[in-house]
Amino acid sequence: MSTGVANGQGAPARSHAVPLCPSAQPTQDGAFAFGVVGGAPGERRVGYLEGRVPVTDELLAMTGPVKPTHVFRFGAPCAGSGCSHFDGSDCNLATKLVQLMPPVSKSLPACQLRPDCRWWKQEGKAACMRCPVIMTDCYTRSEEQALAANPNTPVPVPVGV
């Protein structure tokens, strides 16, 4: 059984050679939960866990009838060219999030994934300042979020370029 859930302790952050995707699926190899979506209806916000909680049957069962990606944020090694958002060097989802969405936080979340996060490595704090409103799956998505989430949406050209 999961050490993370069973003993109430999240695993400490470890360094990964491959950058971690901060909005992964629990079915991916090496996946763990690092956030829980809280807030209020229509104003959901991610709460950041003190540790990384490995994906186990017990963890997934905690969400009952709700899809785990509505409740948790999962991290996992970036799938690279196996993901529609990866262009060979960058995660276009991270780029679009930063360019299309306003920041929602002036302080960096106490995020256990950040040391290995692809979005952080690529976009810096601009990504972290938007991260709390990123839900892998949700029922109420803003127009900007929907645009960013669609792999077919072109990456906007930055102003002044």
Partner 1 sequence: MEYQYAPNIVSMDGFSDAVAASVSLSLEEQQQYSASSSSSFEPTMGYFPVEP
- Residue 69 CB, shortest distance to partner 1, in Å, is 7
The smaller minimum CB distance to partner 1, of residues 41 and 160, is found at 41
Report the distance separating Cα 54 and Cα 68, nearest Å.
13
14 sits near partner 1 (criterion: CB under 8 A):
no
Is there binding between residue 56 and partner 1 (CB under 8 A)? no
158 residue type, one letter: P
Q: Out of 2, 25, 99, 122, name the contact with partner 1 by CB under 8 A.
A: 25
Q: CA-CA distance, 19 to 23, in Å (whole number)?
A: 12
Give the closest residue to 54 by CA, choosing from 82, 24, 80.
24
| Cα gap 63→72, rounded to integer Å | 9
- Binding residues (CB under 8 A) for partner 1: these are 5, 8-10, 21-25, 28, 35-42, 44-51, 53, 62-66, 69-72, 76, 79, 81-85, 93, 102-111, 132-141, 145-146, 148-151
